[in-house]
Chain A
Amino acid sequence: MEALATRAWEAVAGLYAGLRVTFRALVGRKNTVMYPLQKVNVAPRWHGLLALPVDPETGSDKCIICFQCERVCPDRCIHIEAGGKGKDRLLTRFDIEMDKCCYCGLCVEVCPTEAIVFVPHYETSTYNRANLVYDLDDLRRAAPKEPIAHGVVAMRGRP
């Protein structure tokens, strides 16, 4: 009988200790980010979407067609082709298969001119896998190819 009482007391004490933690969490700081309404500010180093942003001064990207990023990519998902000679060398193709990319950042590291960079976008989901191949225009735009879900947009537009 005594043992039973001890066990019952232990159970109540344990429950009480646990509930105290719960209560502290209840009145404490809220932790949830209401995602479509609020957004987490991703860190500047966040490995988001890759892009070749256009330099406003020259009106073009900074790529010097050195193929370093293509060579270093562990997933071989960058495909570069260039035409012309010398000063007229021009990018004819710069595709990144965003579905194969593992967002490792090695291409950003080796690029000598910082032409290829990470942009803080992560909402890249799509209905069609073919949409995940980003070509030169998409990369220069530095934004997801497919529009973000209406739900997100509509909710964010709310006052």
Chain B
Amino acid sequence: MALRTEELMLNMGPQHPSTHGVLRLVVTLDGENIVDVVPDIGYLHSSVEKMMEYRTYLQNVALADRGMDYLTALANEEGYLLAVERVGRIEVPPRARYLRTIMLELQRLSSHLVWLGTWGIDLGATTVFLYCFRERERILDLFEQATGGRLHHVYFRPGGVYEDLPDGWTDRVLAFCDEFLGRVDEYHELLTGNPIFLARVQGVGVLPRDRAIAMGACGPVARASGVDFDVRKAFPYEAYGELAFDVPVFQEGDCFARYRVRMEEMRQSVRIIQQAIAKLPDGEIRSKVQVNVKLPRGEAYARTESPRGDLGVYLVSEGEDAPYRVKIRAPSFSNLFALTEMMRGWKVADVIAILGSVDIVLSDVDR
């Protein structure tokens, strides 16, 4: 008599220590091999798109911080405000553009540090978490001095930023940047040289280039699969067109490549910050826009490169002081659905490694 085998359905989450939020993965297993993965989302749906229709353009800045990707509050503000400024044809003064660039890159650093720390925990390297959060606290201190918030800043405004920098802030940032490059080396020492870490990530969860494009993967996930695309280079916004930086691209498409892309991005962010501070012009930080800004009729799509990828905001204005419709194209959402491609055929123990390497934030997926 032949032994009968059957597939096992395994529910991971929604409350699971390493699903990075409230995600439920329905994993179909054949023994230890993954046959299929279906993400069940919606556990953090906060209906921001609907709420934005009831709030004025200024109030929506506070909402964009929280409702979208919470690790990258300023990148959300940027995406949303870029759309607002395009519809309203609002000019942003050069100093404000540079300030925004500096803040966005600091935000990228802090977001990647959270990713590295939590991924380290998932892979059993708890110390990395402690080191990453040590540096992150320093970035948050810098944020706190400039914007007043640690996680949610509400710093960008239609047509500029809220306040100018406090005294000596740029020096503190530069000092931090110098130190931080050494810290990145330290992370490399901790992880890249560690054979246990390499065994868990090298060659695991491969996403080939054509599948990455077909699934709409974006950001570091796509760049790790050999897609040389960065919105900051392709469609420069704010001051990115005037600053020199490289876009790291790797061909392997495995977890290790995604890790290396982000590690390299951190170095590039430091480079951007240093240049932007050197070039920081004087002058106005905010163009004259009333608090209750009313935009003309029109619509615009703004693409930005948030730390997770290609963040798009489509905004329709009917001439009121609140948007008629806001549609958010969330980077995590498209990356999440490339997950199935990556996981098929791997062992159940790799689910965590692959999921962590994609770096999704559930409030970005569900909005």
Contacts and interface: CB of A to CB of B under 8 A. Distances in A.
Do any CB atoms of chain A lie under 8 A from CB atoms of chain B in the complex? yes
A20 B131 CA distance: 13
* Interface secondary structure of A, over-half rule: helix
Given A45-B146, A102-B152, A109-B162, A17 B193 contact: yes
A43 B169 CA distance: 12
Contact of B195 (A10, A24, A74, A109): A10
Given A43-B141, A74-B59, A18 B148 contact: no
B186 interface: yes
B66 interface: yes
> Which of B59, B60, B131, B166 neighbours the largest number of chain A CB atoms within 10 Å of its CB?
B59
Contacts, number: 78
Interface size class of B (residues with CB under 8 A): 20 to 34
Contacts of B134: 31
Interface residues of A, number: 31
Interface string B38-61: 000000000000000001101111
B194 A72 contact: no
| Residue of B56, B62, B186, B196 contacting most chain A CB atoms (<10 Å) | B62
A105 B148 contact: yes
Given A25-B131, A106-B59, A106-B154, A45 B189 contact: no
Contacts of A104: 61-62, 65, 152, 154
Interface in A76-113: 102-106, 109-110
Interface in A11-26: 11, 13-15, 17-18, 20-22, 24-25
Interface of B: 55-56, 58-63, 65-66, 127, 131, 134, 137, 141, 144-149, 152, 154, 162-163, 166, 186, 189-190, 193-196, 291
Interface of A: 7, 10-11, 13-15, 17-18, 20-22, 24-25, 31, 42-47, 72-74, 102-106, 109-110, 118
26 contacts: A11-B195, A14-B194, A15-B194, A17-B193, A17-B194, A18-B189, A18-B193, A18-B194, A21-B186, A21-B190, A25-B131, A43-B141, A45-B147, A45-B163, A45-B166, A72-B59, A102-B62, A103-B149, A104-B62, A104-B65, A104-B152, A104-B154, A105-B148, A105-B154, A109-B162, A110-B291
